[in-house]
Amino acid sequence: MKKTIFILLAICILSAVVLTVVVIKTKNNSLKETNQNTSIEKEEVITPPLPKPTNKEIIAKNLTLDNLTPEEVALFLELNPEKEAESPDVLARQVARLTTFSGLLQAANDQSVTIAPLFNAPDSFTLVENSVIERNNEKNTWHKLVKGDRVDLITLDGQVVKLVSSGLITKADLKDTVSEATSLPPELVEKILSGDTKDLEKDAITRIKTYLTSYYGIPAGTLDALFNGNFQISREMIEQLVLGRLLGSLATNDSSNSV
């Protein structure tokens, strides 16, 4: 009987020891798994995606031509410059296709311009709604282009992105400029430039003379003779005086540009 009780007691003690060992191992494993899960959770922190570059940024990065801004390219491509680029690679390839062409203007209409380089046959380029046209540093329409103007084109697949033209000051240029500066009607200015001063008021003539003398550098004596009907003063002389004043202004504003 005593022997049986001793055996049962030994079994109970052994079972308790085994159970204790199992519990300790289970706790250790649980701690290890918890630490591993914590490490995994730390490693899986998600970084928010970087914002996509804008159309303007993509164009500026790939634009290598002078006299053209990213905004003008975006306008031509009908893109919002500040909007995120939907296809940066495609836009970059488009910008890379921009090319330049220089020559003398042969013809212009609402659909195209024809340019003749010095030693090659003339070539035509398509004008579209978003084509930017400048003549003598002012934005203009194709109507103001003059045959023989020096023209620099920037094109994309044959379509004009920007056209920069320079040439002699025309009678129409003078009429518009003087009319805007003096607030006189264009019809009145046209009469003055044509020498028709019979019906003009004296103060209007005085304002015109003052403006042409101070802004364009035309001598007062030359204007007096012209307004008094002395048509021995040639139109070419007037144009040369006006052009000389314009070129002097350009040289003053940007000494790096040689005329």
Three-state secondary structure of 100-159: EEEEEEEEECCCEEEEECCCCCCEEEECCCCCEEEECCEECCHHHCCCCCEEEEEEECCE
Q: Are strands 159-166 and 132-135 parallel, antiparallel or unpaired?
A: parallel
How is residue 70 written in tokens? 């990213």
Residue 185: exposed, middle, or buried by beta-carbon count in 10 A (0-12, 13-18, 19+)? exposed
Query: Which of 3.40.50.300, 3.30.70.2860, 3.60.150.10, 2.40.50.320 is the CATH number of 99-167?
Result: 2.40.50.320
In this predicted structure, the answer to whether residue 146 has a pLDDT above a threshold of 70 is: yes
pTM for the predicted model, two decimal places: 0.53
The tens digit of pLDDT for each residue in 205-227 reads: 777 778 777 776 677 777 777 76
C-alpha span between 138 and 141 (Å, rounded): 10
pLDDT at 125 over 90: yes
* Residues 209, 223 contacting (CB under 8 angstroms): yes
Alpha helices in 53-147 (DSSP H): 55-62, 70-76, 88-96
Residue with tokens 């801004």: 69
Average of per-residue pLDDT across 59-85:
91
Place of tokens 């055996």: 7
Q: Write out the residue limits of the CATH 2.40.50.320 domain(s) in the chain.
A: 99-167
Which residues face 138 on adjacent strands?
Answer: 135
pLDDT at 26: 62
The CB-side HSE value for 1 (13 A sphere, CA atoms) comes to: 0
Contact 219, 187 (CB under 8 A): no
Q: What is the mean pLDDT of the chain?
A: 76
At 126, the pLDDT band (50, 70, 90 cuts) reads: very high
Comparing 81-90, 121-130, 232-241, the range with the smallest average pLDDT is: 232-241
175 near 193, Cβ under 8 Å? yes
What 3-state DSSP class applies to 166? strand
Mean pLDDT of 189-196: 72
What is the rounded CA–CA span in Å between residue 97 and residue 76?
13
Beta bridge partners of 154: 100, 162
pLDDT higher than 60, residue 68:
yes
